[in-house]
Structure 1
Amino acid sequence: MELVYKGKTKDVYKLDGGNVLLKFKDDVTGEDGVFDPGANTVGLTIEGAGQAGLRMTKFFFEKLTEKGIPTHYVDADIDAVTMTVRSATVFGKGLEVICRYRAVGSFLRRYGAYCEEGQPLDAFVEVTIKDDDRLDPPINKDALAQLGILTDEEFGTLEALTKQISGVVKEELAAKGLELYDIKLEFGRDSETGSIMLIDEISGGNMRVYKDGVYSAPMDLEKIVVA
């Protein structure tokens, strides 16, 4: 296998035949030893986090596939902590799309003068540029179009898919007595067809989830969801 990219939480390898292999790590994002799905640095290492993240990702990607929602998922090997996916190209140098159901995290830090912590939000979709040096700045539809990163039509597709996917995750978690506060997703273009699809992962490492008002850590979340 050819190593293509060493990421914060996953390494990416090119496979013969055009597919890609993702190797999940035990590193999670955060600051000062505290997990934060919105952070752009590795904050800590949790033994078993990679396998837990892969289990949840497999669970949710297969749910999305059943519903006909386009993703890059092909299959997963839990023991090897790897996932085979379709090759994709990212928008620009990479975008993150956040769907927010409650005011927490960076949303609260920016707009705290106008809202209270935990205030309900109506599936608010926010796009940020993946840029560690500039702390992943938010960007709107007009700027994305003018910078040639995403057309208005593609933005509409991205927003609709984000709400649809987040809604599926929210419903699955609610069935387990859990509440989704926010979730971070990534999208790309299928390298063969050019169509937009969900890429990366869906795990406790890229969402905030609470049970009866108490935060559920990624490892605890995986045990509840994939029981």
Structure 2
Amino acid sequence: MEKRYEGKAKILYATDDPDVLLTVFKDDATAFNAQKRGQIQGKGEINCTITAALFAWLGSLGIPTHYLDQPAPTQLRVKSVQIIPLEVVVRNIAAGSLCKQTGLAEGTVLPFPLVEFYLKDDALGDPLLTPDRLRLLNLATPSQVEELRRLALRINEHLSAFFQRCEITLVDFKLEFGLDSHQQILLADEISPDTCRLWDQQQSDPQARVLDKDRFRKDLGQVESAYQTVQQRILAQLGPAYT
């Protein structure tokens, strides 16, 4: 198959259908803008399975996505989209860079979901964009930016309630979107412990509760088991219709 793109966590291949791509998830792990690299055994299969289940579930709730099906444990068939070069981050609780940049204490519950836009550019360090910088760069029209915000908040509402049922707190997460051939905005990329900050409500210890890539970033160990825990709870909650 013709390789279309290889990123830090996935490879995209062309298929016989020009409107369909094959996404292959890798076990490679990166952090701090790829300054830290490693492998998380089984991560590709876990993230692929979680993404397939959550995208199918969100699609049933009216969220438009590029997901088609999962032909193999580490593979997704997806609609071909033109990725909008913005990372849309939704924050419910202060953690990570928000604490470093604002002085908020980690764990502070925010009074409202904070939606932020970052430029998707590794060479520049994926900088946070102000509204005027968004307009200046013209990466999306004002109406598209508003639609991205609206979709992100809807997804956050659904996911926060869902993870609560899994006894997991959705602290924050990153989304990516793309435009299909009809210029419709579709949720793309993945939703997984790589792209979400997830805290186990069954654990009170600040380190033990971490169920996401922060275990890799901070050398907390037991990364594989944390990802497996997330997968098990998600699939148990969704049931056989999405597995």
Q: TM-score, with normalisation over the residues of structure 1?
A: 0.89
SS in 2 for 1:40: coil
Q: Distance in 2 between matches of 1:133 and 1:219?
A: 32
Q: Distance in 2 between matches of 1:177 and 1:72?
A: 28
Report what 1:97 is aligned to. Answer: 88
Which of 160, 167, 179 is 2:157 aligned to? Answer: 167
- Note the aligned Cα RMSD (angstroms): 1.4
1:21 aligns with 2:15: no
Question: Once the 2 structures are TM-superposed, how far is the Cα of residue 70 of structure 1 from its aligned partner?
Answer: 0.7
Question: Once the 2 structures are TM-superposed, how far is the Cα of residue 160 of structure 1 from its aligned partner?
Answer: 0.5
Percent identical among aligned pairs is: 34
Question: Once the 2 structures are TM-superposed, how far is the Cα of residue 29 of structure 1 from its aligned partner?
Answer: 2.7
Report what 1:209 is aligned to. Answer: 198
Which structure has the highest strand share of the two? 1
1:186 corresponds to which letter in structure 2?
E
The more displaced of 142-151 and 82-91 is 142-151
**Structure 1 gaps, min length 5:** 31-38
Alignment of 1:177-196 (within 5 A): 177-190=167-180, 192-196=181-185
Residues 162-195 of structure 1: per-residue CA shift (max 9 Å, x gap): 01112211111111111100011101111x1111
Q: Distance in 1 between matches of 2:228 and 2:119?
A: 27
Q: Distance in 1 between matches of 2:33 and 2:232?
A: 25
Report what 1:65 is aligned to. Answer: 59
1:84 aligns with 2:93: no
Runs of 4+ with deviation above 4 angstroms: none
**Structure 2 gaps, min length 5:** 212-225, 237-243
Q: Distance in 2 between matches of 1:27 and 1:211?
A: 24
Q: Distance in 2 between matches of 1:105 and 1:98?
A: 12
Alignment of 1:150-161 (within 5 A): 150-161=140-151
Cα pair 1:101 1:124 within 8 Å, conserved = yes
Q: Distance in 1 between matches of 2:190 and 2:39?
A: 18
Q: Distance in 2 between matches of 1:225 and 1:203?
A: 10
The more displaced of 134-143 and 156-165 is 134-143
SS in 1 for 2:194: helix
Question: Once the 2 structures are TM-superposed, how far is the Cα of residue 44 of structure 1 from its aligned partner?
Answer: 2.1
2:190 corresponds to which letter in structure 1?
E
Q: Distance in 1 between matches of 2:152 and 2:227?
A: 21
Report what 2:115 is aligned to. Answer: 125
Q: TM-score, with normalisation over the residues of structure 2?
A: 0.83
Q: Distance in 1 between matches of 2:132 and 2:185?
A: 19
Report what 1:34 is aligned to. Answer: none
Which of 185, 191, 197 is 2:186 aligned to? Answer: 197
Cα pair 1:75 1:85 within 8 Å, conserved = yes
Alignment of 1:107-126 (within 5 A): 107-112=98-103, 115-121=104-110, 122-126=112-116
Cα pair 1:209 1:215 within 8 Å, conserved = yes
1:5 aligns with 2:8: no
2:33 corresponds to which letter in structure 1?
N
**How many equivalent pairs are there?**
213
Which of 25, 39, 45 is 1:45 aligned to? Answer: 39
SS in 2 for 1:205: coil
SS in 2 for 1:55: helix
SS in 1 for 2:70: strand
SS in 2 for 1:215: coil
Q: Distance in 1 between matches of 2:69 and 2:131?
A: 33
Report what 1:143 is aligned to. Answer: 133
1:169 corresponds to which letter in structure 2?
L
Report what 2:235 is aligned to. Answer: 226
